[in-house]
């Protein structure tokens, strides 16, 4: 029963399949056009042109079942993107450091990664990762209620053993063949669903 509750909290259990929008295999240029910019839901969204990750940012989980989570921070995830872009979020009512990362994948890859992520959040309550850049981390994960946005979503908090008491909230929303990853700074609150819905709509229309 505990596993079922965690799974539903993380993924959002419903009785029917949602209608999906948004095509797979968007390019980075498509995503740069689709990413939010300007004022949205109390945040200033600032698209970034510099790459979020460098080639050395290859992250590996100690446990293979946790690798889908590590891939969120890796320059070489198992599901290779066809396009990526990202934006920083700034608000006058809280700490900076929030971000949106958009990733598009080949047909079926986004849905497969989401399935793996949901399983990993349930299985990896405590997990360790290491980067080729030289850093390592160990974090405790807690599944959070999903948001009612996109074709499916997943939310969880991660608390690093280096900074106990400071949790980061990650929310992942799938729109067709693309993923939008929303990350808060330590001690930050989950980003508003209204902002995620606006991003979902732009992604759904991307490439048309």
Render pLDDT for 119-135 as a digit per residue (tens, 0 to 9): 999 999 999 999 999 99
Query: Does 70 fall in a domain?
Result: yes
Q: For residue 4, is pLDDT > 80? A: no
Q: Which pLDDT value is given to residue 186?
A: 82
**Residue 54 belongs to domain spanning:** 2-12+22-205
Query: Does 134 fall in a domain?
Result: yes
Q: For residue 110, is pLDDT > 90? A: yes
Render pLDDT for 37-65 as a digit per residue (tens, 0 to 9): 999 999 999 999 998 888 889 999 999 99
Q: For residue 111, is pLDDT > 70? A: yes
Query: Does 17 fall in a domain?
Result: no
Q: Which pLDDT value is given to residue 23?
A: 62
Query: Does 186 fall in a domain?
Result: yes
Render pLDDT for 16-29 as a digit per residue (tens, 0 to 9): 444 555 566 899 99
Q: Which pLDDT value is given to residue 91?
A: 84
Q: Which pLDDT value is given to residue 20?
A: 59
Query: Does 109 fall in a domain?
Result: yes
Q: For residue 15, is pLDDT > 50? A: no
Render pLDDT for 78-100 as a digit per residue (tens, 0 to 9): 999 999 999 999 987 655 789 99
Query: Does 44 fall in a domain?
Result: yes
Query: Does 197 fall in a domain?
Result: yes
Number of domains within the chain? 1
Query: Does 71 fall in a domain?
Result: yes
How far apart, in Å, are the Cα atoms of 41 and each of 100, 121, 173?
14, 28, 17
**pLDDT > 90: percent of the chain:** 75
Q: Which pLDDT value is given to residue 164?
A: 87
CATH of the domain at 80: 3.40.1000.70
């Amino acid at each position: 029963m505990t596993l079922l509750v965690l799974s539903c909290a993380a993924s959002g259990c419903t009785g029917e399949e949602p209608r999906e929008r948004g095509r797979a295999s968007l390019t980075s240029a498509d995503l740069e056009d689709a990413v939010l910019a300007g004022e949205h839901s109390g945040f200033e969204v600032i698209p970034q042109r510099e790459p979020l990750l460098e080639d050395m940012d290859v992250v590996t989980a100690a446990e293979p079942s946790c690798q889908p989570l590590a891939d969120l921070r890796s320059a070489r995830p198992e599901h290779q993107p066809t396009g990526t872009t990202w934006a920083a979020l700034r608000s006058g009512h809280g700490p900076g450091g929030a971000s949106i990362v958009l990733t598009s994948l080949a047909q079926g890859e986004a849905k497969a990664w989401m399935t793996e992520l949901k399983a990993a959040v349930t299985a990896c309550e405590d997990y360790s990762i290491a980067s080729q850049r030289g850093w390592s981390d160990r974090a405790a994960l807690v599944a959070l209620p999903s948001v009612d946005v996109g074709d499916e979503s997943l939310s969880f908090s991660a608390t690093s053993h280096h900074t106990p008491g400071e949790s980061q909230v990650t929310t992942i929303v799938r729109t067709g063949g693309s993923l939008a990853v929303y990350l808060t700074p330590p001690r930050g609150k989950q980003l508003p669903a209204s902002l995620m819905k606006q991003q979902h709509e732009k992604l759904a229309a991307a490439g048309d």
